[in-house]
Amino acid sequence: LFASETEFLKGVVAMDGLPPADRLEVCFAGRSNVGKSSLINAVTGRKALARTSNTPGRTQEINYFTVSPELFLVDVPGYGYANAPVAVVQKWQRLLKNYLQGRVTLRRAFVLIDARHGVKPVDDEIMSLLDSAAVTFQVILTKADKVKEVDRTKVLTQVRGALTKHPAAYPELLVTSSEKGWGIAHLRALI
Ligand code: GTP
Ligand code: MG
């Protein structure tokens, strides 16, 4: 479904630049460098649809991808540490929060958590924002190829514990690796 059809629509830098809210959308949120853009590429089966980088803070706009007349995929800037000037980072963060709270057609947010690190205070803050905006979110562990099985189990337990505080959290966790293709078919089916 996705590979041939998905195209980049636009990069948005302010709320009034959002495309018309004429279809559902799902977004990929998470700390800088967690693997949001890589996951969009994996799920669409395209190598370089969304730009990725080793440097945290690569994605600085809200990027819209058109999947079909019914669906947008949305790649957003990361939160937390970014390799960019403070004033610039604050501007994206405000845009990101306004977007997550104010986009009526946002049907589900995927909140990406690094499988090595688990839920950090900044993740908790974003999840609380989604709770108060009543946006259902689902956690996806990323970079699962970088952890040993025992460590992954510990992180899963930590994440499950953290989610109990969040009424908007969908209980099923996904474990993925964009690098190895793990969990990608499942995520695609879910979307
Ligand atoms: P920002 O846009 O800066 O917030 O980052 P992002 O969350 O979009 O992360 P991005 O997809 O750019 O990936 C960050 C780095 O992690 C890149 O060097 C990717 O190659 C790497 N990466 C992403 N996913 C995986 C994965 O599943 N496994 C491994 N080993 N590396 C990954
Ligand atoms: Mg990115």
The average confidence (pLDDT) of the chain is 93
The sheet carrying 71-75 orders its strands as: 7-12, 62-68, 71-75, 24-30, 106-114, 137-142, 174-175
Q: What is the tens place of the pLDDT at every residue in 151-174?
A: 999 999 999 999 999 999 999 999
Residue with tokens 């460098």: 33
Q: Is residue 1's pLDDT more than 90?
A: no
**Closest ligand 1 atom to the C-alpha of 144?**
27
Q: Which listed CATH number (3.40.47.10, 1.10.3720.10, 3.40.50.300, 3.30.450.20) goes with 2-190?
A: 3.40.50.300
What ipTM was reported for this prediction? Answer: 0.99
Q: What is the tens place of the pLDDT at every residue in 49-68?
A: 888 888 887 888 999 999 99
147 C-alpha to ligand 1 centroid (Å): 15
Written as one letter, the residue type at 72 is F
Determine the Cα angle at 112 with ends 107 and 116, to 5°.
Answer: 165
Band of residue 2 on the pLDDT scale cut at 50, 70, 90: low
Most ligand 1 atoms within 8 A of CB, residue of 52, 142, 152, 184 to mutate: 52
How many other CB atoms are there within 10 angstroms of residue 171's CB atom? Answer: 9
Q: Global pTM? A: 0.95
Residue nearest to atom 21 of ligand 1 (CA): 35
Token pair listed for 142: 């990323």
Residue nearest to atom 22 of ligand 1 (CA): 35
